[in-house]
Amino acid sequence: MMYNSRISGTGYYVPEHVVTNNDLADIMDTSDEWIQERTGIRERRHVAKGDGNTTASMGVKAAEKAIESAGIDRDDIDFVVFATLSPDYYFPGPGVQLQQDLGLKTVGALDVRNQCSGFIYALSVADQFIKTGMYRHVLVVGSELHSLGLDMTTRGRGVSVIFGDGAGAVILSREEDRSKGVLSTHLHSQGEHAKELALIAPGMGKRWVTQILEENDPDDLSYYPYMNGQFVFKHAVSRFREVIVEGLEKNKLTASDIDLLIPHQANLRISQFIQQKFGLSDEQVFNNIQRYGNTTAASIPIALAEAREAGKLKEGDLLVLAAFGSGFTWGSAIVRWS
């Protein structure tokens, strides 16, 4: 027997430390007007020295809220899927850290490295495990700690002003009614554009930590993220639209059926462009990038948890999740809320 999965619980965590655009203007050549005009971001959260936050620990805090929201016990969790581009260790991934820190049984823990599309990919993996009947409850986490790895100078402002720290989580649970829950997911990649949004070092095939330390070159930018902003924007708006249409057509739906769209919070201008293309009202699209910046794999589950708390979702609503990012990778999930 095949099942569907439904999002039974949501949770999120963001660090207390707020970094405004004016705060960034104090340490680099930028301004609140410059950042808002290009990204829509007003502020973001960064971990603070000594606050104990890591990618794994923030994921744990978000997961605890999702478990409580779902009304299940942590022993009910059968599997963990953890999406991040900023793990605490190069290896192992944070999935096993979360398994330990949550006190879970020796359940499997899978790490997903798909950057801004990471949560959609992780959700799709979890959905397949539940659809086939292998698991009943899967914990899906997206967590990022960007701030410690950014070039917080004028040189790096094109990237550094965009990103924030935080974590979001959902519990996916078995749903026997095939008309409810996650109806379908759709995943794509185009590796020819990998270097247009990438962090090249450290990496075994390019520049490893030992080389960076040996050369001690202050002008070596290979260990900072690089983004070809205009190129990424152009591809993002195209792929967002394509993968949303793909999901709708798969389920014999149209844009007029969408009750709520939660896009990956990459750039408010991208979200507004997609909103316009689908003819959606402000009430039909949920954005929070203004307050958190781009939290990569965490952005959709954070926004989903906030939207749920704000009463934006009711039973029977059609929820569309979509993301585009480094890789390039992109994806969507079509969900009948239950």
Q: Identify the CATH number of the domain in which residue 249 sits.
A: 3.40.47.10
Backbone φ and ψ for 217, nearest 5 degrees, come out as -95, 110
Let me know if 189 is exposed, middle or buried by CB neighbors in 10 A (0-12, 13-18, 19+).
middle
Mean pLDDT estimate for the chain: 96
What is the radius of gyration, based on Cα positions, of the chain?
Answer: 19
30 and 162 Cβ atoms separated by less than 8 Å: no
Residue 86 scores a pLDDT above 80: yes
For residue 318, what pLDDT is reported?
Answer: 98
Share of the chain above pLDDT 70, in %: 100
Residues 190 and 322 in one domain: yes
User: 135 and 234 share a domain?
Assistant: no
The domain tally of the chain equals: 2
Region of residue 52 (left: phi > 0; alpha: psi -120 to 50; beta: else):
left
Looking at per-residue confidence, does 117 or 224 come out higher?
Answer: 117
Same domain, 158 and 227: no
Q: In DSSP terms, which residues pair with 336 in a beta bridge?
A: 181, 318
Task: Report the alpha-carbon angle 69-73-78, nearest 5.
Answer: 105
How confident is residue 218, by pLDDT bands cut at 50, 70 and 90? Answer: confident
Number of H helices and E strands in the chain, helices first, is 11, 13
Proportion of the chain in helix, strand, coil states, percent, rounded to 5: 40, 25, 35
Judge if 151 and 279 occupy the same domain: no
**Residues annotated as part of the active site:** 116, 264, 294
Of the residues 157, 175, 193, the one at which a domain ends: 175
Average pLDDT over residues 180-188: 98
Residue 141: which domain range?
Answer: 4-175
Comparing 63 with 219, the larger pLDDT belongs to 63
Task: Based on the fold, state whether residues 133 and 262 are members of the same structural domain.
Answer: no
Answer yes or no: do 140 and 187 share one domain: no
> Which tens digit of pLDDT belongs to each residue from 38-55?
999 999 999 999 999 999
Q: What is residue 207's predicted lDDT score, i.e. its pLDDT? A: 77
In this prediction, residue 220 carries a pLDDT of 86
Tens-place pLDDT, residues 266-324: 999 999 999 999 999 999 999 999 999 999 999 999 999 999 999 999 999 999 999 99
Specify whether 192 is located in the same domain as 312: yes
pTM (predicted TM-score): 0.96
Last residue of a domain, one of 175, 194, 229: 175
Domain identity same for 137 and 79:
yes
pLDDT at 146: 97
pLDDT at residue 201 is higher than 90: no
> What per-residue confidence (pLDDT) applies to 210?
83
Q: Do 188 and 269 share a domain, yes or no?
A: yes
Q: Report the distance separating Cα 14 and Cα 145, nearest Å.
A: 10
Statement to judge: residues 57 and 96 lie in one domain: yes
Same domain flag for 169 and 192: no
In a shared domain, residues 29 and 126:
yes
280 neighbors 258 (Cβ within 8 angstroms): yes
245-274, pLDDT tens digit by residue? 999 999 999 999 999 999 999 999 999 999
Position 33 pLDDT exceeds 80: yes
Report the pLDDT value the prediction gives residue 130, as an integer from 0 to 100.
Answer: 98
Asked whether 77 and 36 are in contact (CB, 8 A), the reply is no
DSSP code, position 147: G
List, edge to edge, every strand of the sheet that includes 137-144.
Answer: 4-13, 166-175, 137-144, 79-83, 108-112
